Amino acid sequence: MSPKNILVVEDDKALAEAIQIKLKKTGYNVFVARSVPDAIDSYKNHSPIDLVWLDHYLIGRENGLDFLEYLRNDANGKDTPILVVSNTISPELIKAYQTKGANKFFTKSDVKLDELIQEVQQLT
């Protein structure tokens, strides 16, 4: 069976690299984007994407909700598991992400990277 494809959408370059390294060591193909336009390009170029690791705040004017809306409107992305990992998850944002179909929510500062890798494994 071929490795699963994970799209990491994260504006913090150092954190994105750490996530990428951990996921690759676990056996995933990993693609990183730091903005919504980059995430859309990566999604189109590397489909099928088996899971999206999504931050709320990204480089540029658009945020994680904008990308999630794009994904849910795409025939291939409507069922893709979404793991939202952000330091700015308020109850209002969680509700907005739930409404758009995100699967899980984590506050970066409250969870270890290894725990998030386990979540990825469960969702894929």
Laid out side by side, the sheet with 5-9 consists of: 29-33, 5-9, 51-54, 82-86, 104-107
Tell me the pLDDT tens digit for each residue of 14-53.
Answer: 999 999 999 999 999 999 999 999 999 999 999 899 999 9
pLDDT for 114 equals 93
Q: How confident is the model at residue 2 (pLDDT cuts 50, 70, 90)?
A: confident
pLDDT for 87 equals 87
Q: How far is 56 from 63, CA to CA, in rounded Å?
A: 5
Q: How far is 107 from 66, CA to CA, in rounded Å?
A: 19
End-to-end CA distance of the chain: 13
pLDDT for 12 equals 92
Token pair listed for 71: 């994904």
Residue 16 is part of a domain; what is its CATH number?
3.40.50.2300
Domain region containing 9? 5-123
pTM of structure: 0.94
**Amino acid at site 55:** D
Does the pLDDT of residue 88 top 90, yes or no? no
Nearest to 71 by CA among 95, 93, 54: 54
Number of domains in the chain: 1
Nearest to 101 by CA among 120, 114, 118, 84: 84
